[in-house]
Amino acid sequence: MTAAGVADLERFGEWFVVAGPHPARRANSVDPLGDPGRSRDPALDLAGGFFRSHGKSVLVKVAAVPGEGQEVEPLVVSRSFRHRDPSAVIEETMPASGGPPARAIASAPGGFWRGRAVGIDDWIGIFDLATEPAVQRRGLGRTVLDALLAWGADQGARLAGVSIFWR
Q: What is the pLDDT of residues 76-89, one digit of tens each?
A: 767 666 555 433 22
Quick check: 27 and 4 in contact, CB under 8 A? yes
Express each pLDDT in 3-19 by its tens digit. Answer: 444 567 788 888 878 88
Global pTM? 0.47
Cβ neighbours, 10 Å, residue 134 = 8
* Most confident range, picked from 23-27, 65-69, 95-99, 105-109: 23-27
96 — pLDDT class (breaks 50, 70, 90) = very low
Query: For residues 69 and 109, which has the higher predicted lDDT (pLDDT)?
Result: 69
Please compute Rg for the chain using Cα positions: 16
Rounded average pLDDT over 134-139 = 78
Instruction: Report the topology of domain 102-162.
Output: Aminopeptidase (3.40.630)
All CATH 3.40.630.30 domain ranges in the chain, comma separated: 102-162
Between the alpha carbon of residue 60 and those of residues 12, 15, 75, 165, 167, the distances in Å are 14, 11, 11, 6, 7
Q: Is the dihedral of CA 1, 167, 47, 54 positive or negative?
A: positive
CA distances from 33 to 48, 65, 91, 122 (A): 16, 10, 26, 19
Q: How high is the pLDDT of residue 16?
A: 78
